[in-house]
Amino acid sequence: MIAETLSLAGDKLTLRPFTLEDAPRVQELVSNWNVASMVARIPHPYPDGGAEEWISGHNERRASGDSWPFAIETKKAGLVGTIGLSKTDGSSMEIGYWIGEPYWGNGIASEAARVLVEFAFDILDIEKLTAGHFKGNPASGRILTKVGFLTVGEDKRFCLARGEELDCIALELTAAEHRKTR
Ligand SMILES: CC(C)(COP(=O)(O)OP(=O)(O)OC[C@H]1O[C@@H](n2cnc3c(N)ncnc32)[C@H](O)[C@@H]1OP(=O)(O)O)[C@@H](O)C(=O)NCCC(=O)NCCS
């Protein structure tokens, strides 16, 4: 059993569980078209109380093994974004993330992804990670390929903020492929 309070340390950031005290900060960072329009499930405009409701569900989802959501925190700026894993089927989980726009371009998502991938394979013993990014989001593709994800196809995914389906690149990383790169 993995502690629900588990935090993961990187060089310049920590991944830790959210608390309700984080809600105003999440609300502030996520109420941004440039973030919401690049992910599948964040509405825009973001509803009042949305962050509190989202964080309130974390303990239950973590306890059931359905998801592992982490706040990304840096010493300098505090909470700057989120990264997490959600169960897709018995043996695989999907990785998802966003960084608040003022903090883009500092290597934060790249490092958070590296830490989370190690956690998924070394601690959770996941067989396969999946990921997807909209075609218009090459920065996300770059983050995923840097940690070893390989493109496996294309599909269409609904973007809640845009209210339409968008072309999406699908990627995967298996535990076996990950071991080869270490
Ligand atoms: C995509 C996102 C997570 C990137 O976060 P970040 O902390 O700025 O990312 P990093 O600084 O770690 O790395 C970005 C990488 O993309 C590259 N990049 C940036 N813009 C790019 C572009 N237009 N084309 C190709 N690569 C690009 C950068 O050069 C960097 O790669 P490098 O380290 O090899 O130089 C952030 O912009 C974000 O949250 N966007 C909105 C939400 C989102 O897209 N979430 C992911 C959904 S799949």
Q: Is residue 155 part of a domain?
A: yes
124-137 pLDDT tens trace: 999 999 999 999 99
Q: Which regions of the chain are under pLDDT 70?
A: 1
Answer yes or no: is the C-beta of 35 below 6 A from any ligand 1 atom: yes
Domains contained in the chain, number = 1
Q: Is residue 87 part of a domain?
A: yes
Q: Is residue 70 part of a domain?
A: yes
Q: Is residue 1 part of a domain?
A: no
Q: Is residue 174 part of a domain?
A: yes
DSSP letter for 162, please. T
Query: Looking at residue 30, which CATH number applies to its domain?
Result: 3.40.630.30
Taking the C-alpha atoms of residue 182 and residue 178, their distance in angstroms, rounded to an integer, is 7
Q: Is residue 138 part of a domain?
A: yes
Answer yes or no: is the C-beta of 38 below 6 A from any ligand 1 atom: yes
What confidence score (pLDDT) does residue 90 get?
Answer: 78
Place of tokens 């394979």: 121
pTM for the full predicted model: 0.97
86-126 pLDDT tens trace: 999 878 999 999 999 999 999 999 999 999 999 999 999 99
Specify the 3-state DSSP secondary structure of 40.
coil
Pocket test for ligand 1, best of 44, 85, 116, 140 (most atoms within 8 A of CB): 140
Distant-in-sequence, close-in-space partners of 122: CB < 8 Å, separation ≥ 6 = none
Answer yes or no: is the C-beta of 137 below 6 A from any ligand 1 atom: yes
Domain enclosing residue 71, as ranges: 8-180
Pocket test for ligand 1, best of 13, 104, 114, 171 (most atoms within 8 A of CB): 104
Answer yes or no: is the C-beta of 72 below 6 A from any ligand 1 atom: no
Q: Is residue 2 part of a domain?
A: no
Q: Is residue 3 part of a domain?
A: no
Give the tokens for residue 146. Answer: 């840097």
